[in-house]
Structure 1
Amino acid sequence: MELPDYKSLHVGIVAGVATVSLDHPPVNTLDGPMMLELHDLLGRLRADDATRVIVFESSHDEFFLAHVDFGIFESYPALEAVKKDYPHVNVHQGIGELLRSQPQVTIVKLAGIARAGGAEFVAAADMTFAGIERGKIAQSEVLLGILPGGGGTQYLLERAGRNRALEAVLGADLLDAETAALYGWINRAVADAELDAFVARIAANIAALDPGVIEGAKRALPAADLTRGLNLEHDEWNRLVQGELPVGKMKLAMERNLQTVESERDLEGFLRKVAADA
């Protein structure tokens, strides 16, 4: 199928498998334009019966998706244009809900760091396989005085259970791939040198299944309706994000060069220092 020339997505489709490489330098933040491109791409693929699996990877060596871009608020007017497609949740949660309802099997190949909005993207996909050495994941929003606002609380609750979801959300630690797999946040951890081949094999095997099998499996194993929990998450996020302390922490973080490779490598340590000084 023909696709637009996306700026932050590189897409190739071979033998029923669409490979989508996320590309937003310098640290692969999830910004408004990328959200709009993902919305467009998922909508086009939804109507493409020939595409049976979607694999998401990163164009960055260190980061899958660092987190939601701090300039996202400037994109809200543009994002409102697609809000009609998921009126029951906010626009950020809507990306996760699109992933969860996609007719294709969605797979994340996690060969870098996914935090906050990036971690929510990972948890919304049907499956995630991560590199043991490079794959890492965290919900770090509380370090700014807010909560996950893109589905993170609900996806974690469903995948990992309440006790581990509370640990991930409130502890705000960067978990290695093996711990994330133990918790159920991802499917499994794979040796970095084997990750590409492993994901390629499972994607190809799924894409080669007999007609109707994928559709039947996704109907028999449906994504749960998390609307009520997502609405509660949004209300709590919205209440906190307008507070004086979170606004001050976000401003100070940007003044100290957040969203640069150096600061993002140890974002948790960076944000704890910001919180101490705010």
Structure 2
Amino acid sequence: MSNTATASTHAPVRAEQQGPGYWRVTFDNPPLNLYEPEVESALAKIVDQLETDPDVKVVVFDSAVPDFFMAHLNLGRVAEFGEGMPAWFDMIGRLGNARFITVGSLRGRARGIGNEFLTTLDVRFASRERAVLSQLEIGTGIIPGCGGIQRLVQLTGRSRALEIITSGEDYDADTAALYGWVNRAVPDAELDAVVDRFAWRIASFDTDALRAVKEIINEEAPLHSPDDLAATHQRFAGLLARDFVQQRLQLSAKASPEVIYDLELNMGERLGPRD
């Protein structure tokens, strides 16, 4: 595997080797880091390449877009992902069962499918000052349809998952750490060093031992298969297809870039009633 897994530095996702056994994958789809077909295609190719390299031990996922780790799914292009989003469910299933350890380094907003991707990863560290997490779907009349419900229940427990999903609010890193949503909230100035130190330690250890640990933990806390998640995604698609939801999405799409960016920055507040 080459030191750069994508051909262009302007690709929406790129991978770079940091050293023996240690890779970083960076989302770079400005201005919002939306999850779009091009992002999925680039990410799938990177996952393919990482899986075929037996020397990979740890992969850190981060963002080059300061305010957004991954904003959410681009609902205006949902049909382009294929019915049931098969590539998405295949990819997150493979990451969950990959021989290497996956780590999220969270700055900015991870909402909707951005949070669903983050919770797919094995370990998550978040910037205390700059991380924002949310399952925002309830505010537009839909539900998390890409694994968010199941993974939040597993990470935070039933009551906190209900709070997160039914409120649609933004949550800060300290609250997320308290809930078990992320492993740790750290000062933003220390985030890179904390993640780097953790990744380098993993990269220094034995591959077979690391793989055994992950396999045993997956047996103790089983991951949800694509088939398990299919029924939830069907309910998501049915709710999304309703007229009032589509009308609301069309109105949002007509807003100016400045209005859209402000909305995306403050989505948790704007989707609910104002105080």
Q: TM-score, normalised by structure 1?
A: 0.89
Q: Which residue of 2 aligns with 1:86?
A: none
1:241–1:74 CA distance, 2 compared to 1 (3 A): closer
Runs of 4+ in 1 over 6 A off after TM superposition: none
1:95–1:257 CA distance, 2 compared to 1 (3 A): farther
How does 1:180-259 map onto structure 2 within 5 Å?
180-222=176-218, 224-227=222-225, 229-257=228-256
1:144–1:41 CA distance, 2 compared to 1 (3 A): same
Q: Which residue of 2 aligns with 1:8?
A: 12
How does 1:79-90 map onto structure 2 within 5 Å?
90=86
Q: Deviations over 1:36-85 (max 9, x none)?
A: 111111111011111111001100111110111234325235xx7xx9xx
Q: 2-side partners of 1:17 and 1:72: how far apart? A: 33
Question: Any stretches of 5+ residues in structure 1 without a counterpart?
Answer: 84-88, 274-278
Q: 2-side partners of 1:178 and 1:73: how far apart? A: 32
Q: Deviations over 1:64-114 (max 9, x none)?
A: 10111234325235xx7xx9xxxxx74433333232122210001001110
Other structure's SS at 1:111 match: strand
Question: Any stretches of 5+ residues in structure 2 without a counterpart?
Answer: none
Amino acid in the other structure paired with 1:226: H
Does residue 132 (structure 1) correspond to residue 128 (structure 2)? The answer is yes
Q: 2-side partners of 1:249 and 1:90: how far apart? A: 26
Contact 1:68 1:118 in 2 (8 A): yes
- Please, what is the CA RMSD of the aligned residues? 2.0
With 181-190 and 261-270 compared, the bigger mean Cα shift is at 261-270
Q: 2-side partners of 1:205 and 1:176: how far apart? A: 27
Q: 1-side partners of 2:61 and 2:197: how far apart? A: 14
Amino acid in the other structure paired with 2:38: P
Q: Which residue of 2 aligns with 1:40?
A: 45
Other structure's SS at 1:24 match: coil
Q: Which residue of 2 aligns with 1:62?
A: 67
Other structure's SS at 2:169 match: coil
Q: TM-score, normalised by structure 2?
A: 0.89
Q: 1-side partners of 2:124 and 2:33: how far apart? A: 18
Other structure's SS at 1:103 match: coil
Contact 2:71 2:111 in 1 (8 A): yes
1:271–1:95 CA distance, 2 compared to 1 (3 A): farther
Does residue 99 (structure 1) correspond to residue 95 (structure 2)? The answer is yes
Q: 2-side partners of 1:102 and 1:203: how far apart? A: 16
Q: 2-side partners of 1:124 and 1:257: how far apart? A: 33
Other structure's SS at 2:207 match: coil
Q: 1-side partners of 2:185 and 2:66: how far apart? A: 17
User: Percent identity over the alignment?
Assistant: 31
Q: Deviations over 1:178-230 (max 9, x none)?
A: 10111111111011111100000000000110231111111111161423641
Other structure's SS at 2:75 match: coil
Q: 1-side partners of 2:235 and 2:54: how far apart? A: 39
Does residue 23 (structure 1) correspond to residue 37 (structure 2)? The answer is no
Count of aligned positions: 264
Amino acid in the other structure paired with 1:271: L
Q: Which residue of 2 aligns with 1:276?
A: none
Contact 2:170 2:269 in 1 (8 A): no
Q: 2-side partners of 1:240 and 1:164: how far apart? A: 23
